[in-house]
Amino acid sequence: MQSPFLQHIVDFMYSRHYAKRTVEAYVYWTKQYILFHDKQHPRSLSDKHVEQFLSHLSINRNVSANTQAQALNALVFVYEHILHQPIKVDMRFRKATKQKKLPIVLTKREIRALLDHVKPAWLLPVQLMYGSGLRVNECVRLRYGDIDFDFYALRIHLSKGNKSRIVTLAKELCPALYQQREVVQRLWQTDSKQSDYAGASMPNALERKYPGANKTLSWQFLFPSHKLSIDPISKVQRRHHIDVTTIQRAIKAAAKRANITKPVTSHTLRHSFATHLLESGADIRTVQEQLGHTDVKTTQIYTHVLERGANGVVSPLSHL
């Protein structure tokens, strides 16, 4: 059973409409911080204890810089908003230097093999993830009205970093999307007849801006769950989207059936989308916009992939 303190953090964050993954991450790092200091309550600990924990993550757990930054953000949040004891800005701790590895990218042949082995129930979301460069969360959170068939585009709302963007849509997927929208419409018509149906969940800002929109067809999830459930935050009955783990398992299983030896995750499809776009001659800025990267340096990692091996330096063996 979760401690009252950690449960308070959960309740506080949900009441302020933080994303589920953010809540889970912040609670995880708070718990790790407490365990590291022999289960002492954070209220009795000081800035130096925070510094010790962050240094421990770098030295003993060899975490990446991004992971260490997430842990720091979690503790800054807890001390400022939960304990009302803000920690100092100029923290002195061992900075993590572990760098991200180059992304795993599938060849076009491997992508075809993977898609051939995805079970039909999950094929459309997997095709969208590769075809539009979507994160798995972006895919499952797509709404009925997010598809622009006229301009072959998808609208991505308030994704990572609270950013929205428009991405390309493969016209070959339009027939399957029309069929999927018919499924959504039938479920919506059934759900709407239930007096306790509260509509689809929406980000708080959009719910305030468009009151009542969550009960309209346009805002229903494109990939809905097969059953209604109680929203853990609002405690009302809704139809949520399918779980991300369902898609992740489907991708791993398909990769295994296709005999792909590379480690394949849902994010591998996004990496492959970006690399294949650049390979086909797309401009780096265009790829940056499609992926929703704030800094083009983040996108340039894919140019490094292309510059390796046969796509970059010619091996001296080739000249023998």
Catalytic residue among 18, 79, 130, 302: 302
Catalytic residue among 95, 119, 160, 163: 160
Distance CA(295)–CA(302), nearest Å, equals: 13
267 given a catalytic annotation: yes
Catalytic residue among 117, 238, 270, 276: 270
Domain definitions of the chain by residue range: 4-82, 108-303
Contacts of 286 (CB under 8 A, 6+ apart): 277
Q: Is 48 helix (H, G, I), strand (E, B) or coil?
A: helix
100 given a catalytic annotation: no
Q: What is the helix (H) or strand (E) element at residue 153, kind and residue range?
A: strand 153-156
293 given a catalytic annotation: yes
152 given a catalytic annotation: no
Question: How many Å separate Cα 148 from the centre of its chain?
Answer: 22
26 given a catalytic annotation: no
Is-contact 141 241, C-beta < 8 A?
Answer: yes
308 given a catalytic annotation: no
Quick one: CA torsion of 217, 221, 225, 230, rounded to 10 degrees?
-80
Superfamily of domain covering 108-303: Intergrase catalytic core (1.10.443.10)
Catalytic residue among 135, 141, 241, 271: 135
Is-contact 237 230, C-beta < 8 A?
Answer: yes
Is CATH 3.60.21.10 what the domain over 4-82 is classified as, yes or no? no
pLDDT per residue rounded down to tens, the chain (320 residues): 578 999 999 989 887 778 778 889 999 999 999 999 999 999 999 899 999 999 999 888 888 888 898 999 999 999 999 999 998 877 778 777 766 677 889 999 999 999 999 999 999 999 999 999 999 999 999 999 999 999 999 999 878 777 889 999 999 999 999 999 999 999 999 999 888 888 888 876 677 777 888 899 999 999 999 988 888 777 888 999 999 999 999 999 999 999 999 999 999 999 999 999 888 888 888 888 888 888 888 888 887 767 655 455 555 555 65
